[in-house]
Amino acid sequence: MKYPKKLVIATTNSGKLKEFEKLLTSLEVEIFSLKDFPEIGEIVEDGKTFAENALLKARTVSEKTGLVSLADDSGLEVDFLEGQPGVNSARFSGIPTDDTRNNNKLLNLLGDLPLERRTARFKCAIAIVIPDKREMVVEGICEGLILKELRGEGGFGYDPLFYLPLYDQTFAQLDIEIKNKISHRGQATKKAIGILREIFSSCQDYKKML
């Protein structure tokens, strides 16, 4: 089966999209996001795991566009909060989602807890769904600590609080090339790229398929 060299990233999160555009450059496929398909509307993420939610998003988008779709479901698991916010990371402090409000809620819940007990990890599940309904999921994890104050201007979401002792920087301070190498999303994408190469390997140049 031949698919046009077009990949729809099933996201409305511009922070994620920016990272994927860099992470997937070597694939040489045309990248779209949900912003290009506003008619799809909101996809309800009611799965219990990152993998379930990623599959829900990728399945819906592949069905509605007839194209190969990749979805990322990700979030932060904080040990002191018994794994919260987890799959609720985006909506942690309510809807509409708001990164600043989420970070403040996290800071308040952790209070003065010493740094060594503020352990946490980002997790990412990437689902790939192709129009013949084949589905694949890969995952990535990145360990770190939650700081007591925001540090750095880059990134998105919880990045200004997520500290990597090895680099003595938060995700919001790290060069994007380094974040993409070590992050949960970077790790999962490394696994996804092999699968995507295979899916698109029999494709002709997308321009010739229009």
**140 interacts with ligand ITT by CB under 6 A:** no
Taking CA atoms, 67 is separated from 61, 86, 128, 133, 153, in Å, by 8, 29, 11, 11, 35
Task: Tell me which residue of 32, 117, 21 sits closest to 67, measured CA to CA.
Answer: 32
- Which of 3, 32, 163, 171 binds ligand ITT (CB under 6 A)? It is 171
Per annotation, catalytic residue among 36, 73, 132, 168: 73
The amino acid sitting at 156 is F
Interface pattern 14-33 for ligand ITT (x via CB under 6 A): --x-----------------
- Which of 90, 146, 196, 199 binds ligand ITT (CB under 6 A)? It is 90
Nearest residue (CB) to ligand ITT, 163 versus 171: 171
For the bound state, the minimum distance from the C-beta of residue 202 to ligand ITT, rounded and expressed in Å, comes to: 28
Nearest residue (CB) to ligand ITT, 37 versus 156: 156
Beta-carbon count within 10 A of 14 CB: 11
Answer for the pair 71, 11: CB distance below 8 angstroms, yes or no: yes
Which among 67-75, 133-141, 191-199, 201-209 is the span making contact with ligand ITT, rule CB under 6 A?
67-75
Beta-carbon count within 10 A of 119 CB: 14
**180 interacts with ligand ITT by CB under 6 A:** no
Whether 73 sits among the annotated catalytic residues: the reply is yes
**189 interacts with ligand ITT by CB under 6 A:** no
**122 interacts with ligand ITT by CB under 6 A:** yes
Q: Which residues bind ligand ITT (CB under 6 A)?
A: 11-13, 16, 45, 72-76, 89-90, 102, 122, 155-159, 171, 183, 185
